[in-house]
């Protein structure tokens, strides 16, 4: 049969016949771009001869990159050149000598999972549009809840540990005063929350965002290792009550950002029980120690928490971002707190079990299937493989600590209990100087200067900071299984090479 020719259809001057994109050309572009990613990113990820970064100052980088957006599109060969430039001038966080943040390295399985979800472009709110990924999220949350030590619970993946902490703060407030969802803040007493002086800065941001106010965040003093002092917590709770305020939440930290400290959860839980306070544990960084039978004792007592933040994209390398907020409650408290019952999404007369439409317990509408990355890695490595990641990272930390103790010019801030190794490099010019104000003022300038040199050289990336009265020091964080003992030796050798003339 001869196909009938269709007449051209115009609406508002637009031709509606046929697709407007060239699928074949698009497919070729994707293939070429994937080859480029494989050659320039994946295959070079573990090559120590590659630079960690190709540093350029902002104004120069603006000139090197063609950032202008034009009225007409550009050819594919030009787009591939732009892709090459993006890769060249981006920091290689997969590099074995990238130690700058609380994430690093390349997990091949989570990378494939990311490729898949980017291609499928799902949104995880209803079972009808995201059946596989909702079931994956349910399975992963169930397993994480098991490792916390709860018999049951609830949870959701969200964009970042900061958001998890905000979820916790809002949920604790809702549990304390359910009417706030409809009636708002008017008529409420002065709500007070307590957290460690070493807590993540997201606690202040959450208090500001939620209308609690940063002045109503009480920072509890820590001991010399950065752990919250339970006796000081209880003293502040009694003081707040005496002043007529209404305490409702305590946020403990398992794995502080700088020192890697773990708060004493059992003692803090005792205080919370005595005063009827919600206990949230920010284990965004340290939560992955739960996977290790050797190191899970760091989080002893976490099963007594009401909620937990845990980021598998950090120590377990599930790929940014992959963050879970977990709740011990199984009475649908999350859904009661956040549900808006959008009738165009969460119809109750669907032909399947609508309890799988979990999106209404999220503050988001569109939501990425972040659990899938962690699920793929967990399936590939098994629980024992994830445990080995944690054990190896902490073993490498111990190696680095012992090497620092042996070397002239290096001084530990303190013995670490996790993968955060904090130390000073003291150049030869300061080694005979008495440790007085002049010494510390000069030492304060050393780490930033070495950081500048290593960035411009591209040999490694390592973070530094001042902290609670201590002058600038380096913070080495160990995560990636691609990191070798030789990289630890290189780190110390390179710092000495870059700083010995200061």
Domain final residue pick, 61, 92, 123:
92
- Domain total for the chain? 3
- Residue 296: which domain range? 131-340
How far is residue 136 from each of residues 45, 143, 319, 445, measured CA to CA in Å? Answer: 28, 11, 16, 49
Is a pLDDT exceeding 60 seen at residue 2? no
Q: Which of 9-18, 239-248, 310-319 has the lowest mean pLDDT?
A: 9-18
Mean pLDDT (whole number) for 224-251: 97
Domain at 415, CATH number: 3.90.1150.170
Q: For residue 295, which of 200, 419, 199 has the smallest C-alpha distance?
A: 419
Q: What is residue 276's predicted lDDT score, i.e. its pLDDT?
A: 97
Percent of the chain with pLDDT strictly greater than 70: 99
Q: What is residue 246's predicted lDDT score, i.e. its pLDDT?
A: 97
- In-domain check, residue 101: no
- In-domain check, residue 316: yes
Is a pLDDT exceeding 70 seen at residue 197? yes
Mean pLDDT (whole number) for 439-468: 97
Q: What is residue 184's predicted lDDT score, i.e. its pLDDT?
A: 92
Span 386-409, pLDDT tens digits: 999 999 999 999 999 999 999 999
Residues 336 and 393 in one domain: no
Residues 83 and 144 in one domain: no
- Return the biggest CA–CA distance within the chain: 97
Residue 107 pLDDT grade (very low, low, confident, very high; cuts 50, 70, 90): very high
Does residue 423 contact residue 412 with C-beta atoms inside 8 Å? yes
Domain final residue pick, 318, 340, 362:
340
Residue 1 pLDDT grade (very low, low, confident, very high; cuts 50, 70, 90): low
Does residue 479 contact residue 104 with C-beta atoms inside 8 Å? yes
Beta-carbon contacts of residue 149 (< 8 Å; ≥ 6 apart) = 302, 303
User: Is the peptide bond prior to 498 cis by the omega test (within 30 degrees of 0)?
Assistant: no
Mean pLDDT (whole number) for 62-85: 96
Span 467-486, pLDDT tens digits: 999 999 999 999 988 899 99
Mean pLDDT of the chain: 95
**What does the alpha-carbon distance between residue 197 and residue 402 come to, in Å, rounded to a whole number?**
29
**Predicted TM-score (pTM) of this structure:** 0.95
Residue 5 pLDDT grade (very low, low, confident, very high; cuts 50, 70, 90): low
- Extended strands (E) in 73-223: 98-99, 154-158, 191-196, 217-220
Residues 252 and 200 in one domain: yes
Is a pLDDT exceeding 90 seen at residue 9? no
Residues 171 and 310 in one domain: yes
């Amino acid at each position: 049969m001869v196909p009938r020719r269709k007449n051209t259809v115009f609406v508002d001057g637009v031709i509606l016949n046929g697709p407007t994109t060239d699928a074949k050309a698009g497919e070729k572009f994707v293939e070429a771009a994937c080859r480029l990613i494989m050659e320039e990113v994946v295959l070079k990820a573990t090559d120590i001869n590659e630079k960690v970064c190709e540093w350029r100052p902002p104004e120069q980088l603006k000139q090197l990159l063609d950032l202008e957006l034009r009225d007409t599109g550009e050819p594919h060969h030009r787009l591939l050149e732009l892709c090459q430039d993006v890769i060249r001038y981006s920091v290689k966080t997969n590099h074995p000598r990238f130690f700058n943040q609380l994430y690093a390295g390349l997990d091949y399985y989570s990378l494939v999972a990311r490729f898949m979800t980017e291609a499928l472009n799902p949104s995880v709110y209803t079972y009808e549009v995201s059946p596989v990924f909702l079931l994956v999220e349910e399975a992963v949350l169930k397993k994480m809840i098991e490792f916390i030590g709860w018999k049951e619970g609830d949870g959701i993946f969200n964009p970042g540990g900061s958001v998890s902490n905000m979820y916790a703060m809002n949920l604790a407030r809702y549990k304390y005063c359910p009417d706030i969802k409809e009636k708002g803040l008017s008529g409420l007493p002065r709500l007070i929350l307590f957290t460690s002086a070493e807590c993540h800065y997201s606690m202040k941001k959450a208090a500001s965002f939620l209308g609690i106010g940063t002045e109503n965040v009480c920072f509890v003093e820590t001991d010399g290792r950065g752990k919250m002092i339970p006796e000081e917590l209880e003293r502040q709770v009694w003081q707040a009550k005496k002043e007529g305020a209404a305490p409702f939440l305590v946020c403990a930290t398992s794995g502080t950002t700088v020192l890697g400290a773990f708060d004493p959860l059992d003692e803090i839980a005792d205080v919370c029980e005595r005063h009827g306070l919600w206990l949230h544990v920010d284990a965004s960084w340290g939560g992955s120690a739960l996977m290790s039978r050797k190191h899970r004792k760091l989080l002893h007592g976490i099963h007594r928490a009401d909620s937990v933040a845990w980021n598998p994209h950090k120590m377990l390398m599930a790929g940014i971002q992959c963050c879970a907020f977990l709740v011990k409650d199984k009475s649908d408290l999350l859904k009661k707190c956040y549900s808006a019952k959008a009738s165009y999404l969460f119809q109750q007369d669907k032909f399947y079990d609508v309890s799988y439409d979990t999106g209404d317990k999220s503050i988001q509408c569109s939501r990425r299937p972040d659990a899938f990355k962690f699920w793929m890695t967990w399936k590939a490595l098994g629980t024992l493989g994830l445990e080995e990641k944690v054990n190896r990272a902490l073993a490498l930390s111990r190696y680095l600590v012992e090497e620092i103790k042996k070397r002239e010019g290096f001084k530990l801030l303190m013995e670490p209990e996790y993968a955060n190794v904090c130390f000073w490099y003291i150049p030869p010019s300061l080694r005979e100087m008495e440790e007085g104000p002049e010494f510390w003022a000069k030492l304060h300038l050393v780490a930033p200067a070495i950081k500048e040199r290593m960035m411009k050289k591209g040999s490694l990336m390592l973070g530094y900071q001042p902290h609670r009265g201590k002058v600038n020091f380096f913070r080495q964080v160990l995560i990636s299984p691609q990191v070798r003992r030789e990289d630890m030796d290189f780190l110390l050798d390179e710092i000495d090479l870059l700083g010995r003339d200061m």
